[in-house]
Amino acid sequence: MIASDNVPYHGIVPPILTPIGLDGQVDLRSLFRLTRWLIREGVHGIWACGTTGEFPCFDVDEREHVIGTCVEAAGASIPVIANISDCSTRLVIEHGKRALRAGADAVAVTPPYYYSNSQDELLDLYRCVRDEIHAPLFIYNIPSTVKVRVEVDTIVTLAAEGTIAGIKDSQNDLDFARTLVQRVAQRGASLRIFLGTRSLIDAGLLIGAHGAIPGIANVVPRACVDAYEAAARGDWAAAAEAQQRVSESIRLTRIAKGSAQAAAMGGMKAALKAIGVIAHSSVAAPLRSPSPEEEEQIVGLARELGMREVVPA
């Protein structure tokens, strides 16, 4: 592993898509190519088995293979953060052990899903995971999918005691993020704060966040990196221009029919297929994959947005 609690995680960390073949199996060869391409585009880390990576749809072996493939492709050039979330502390710890065996540099955990948990139960969860999994631990705060929000008091408590190293907050709530930044500073704690939303890359840095983990970085990584780097050097005009390129690319995620999640992931996969990064646009059933007609529209839009065929490295 190349990272530790003291490594300053920062920048654009794509929550990498998990390519799937026509047989419904994980396409590790395409995943390897995607990871390598993202690194060439300048990203600062990889977030494996996240929501955009369809992690709940895969078994324990598949999740381990995904993490291992990202680690292999990264080749110690950037850190790989593995989401190890599940419905109980025991299952999370098992995923964590597998993630470390696969070479992950850090791990991330949502509140357990299905049952709703209290903040005291979440404190116990993160402390138990950190005791058993000897790697930097990130909170993955995404109440839209797990029903429970990790509150500011809980986050600050865990940061102050050294249980967690960072957080991905996917609420699209700048007020929450700013309050968290301020409270962490007041306690004198250390916490790497990432926003999980595509439209707040520059705004996040302005309020004191350390980077972003937006799903759209899978298809426009350079625009996301440009927005981050411009904001980091205080060039807000350049950051706004790059942020506009990011916003325009969202159209790729709204063409396919089906659920919003299927349209987003399928749209991005179809765009990556069009430029030769991955082999198929399939998403995990019962999510609906793009139809041939929808793929054709996505290909046209990808060209309009300036996405070009990738030459193998």
DSSP letters, 160-196, are HTTS-SEEEE-S--HHHHHHHHHHHHHHT---EEEE-
Token pair 């799903």: residue: 215
**Which helix (DSSP H) or strand (DSSP E) does residue 211 occupy?**
strand 211-212
257 is catalytic: no
Please tell me the distance from the alpha carbon of residue 16 to that of residue 5, in angstroms, as a whole number.
22
For 235, other C-beta atoms within 10 Å of its C-beta total: 15
Token pair 């590790």: residue: 28
Question: Among residues 9, 113, 126, 168, which one is catalytic?
Answer: 168
Token pair 């994980």: residue: 26
140 is catalytic: yes
Q: Is the Cβ–Cβ distance between 247 and 199 less than 8 Å?
A: yes
Question: Among residues 97, 113, 126, 140, which one is catalytic?
Answer: 140
The residues near 61 (Cβ < 8 Å, ≥ 6 apart) are none
Q: Is the Cβ–Cβ distance between 9 and 43 less than 8 Å?
A: no
Residues involved in catalysis: 140, 168
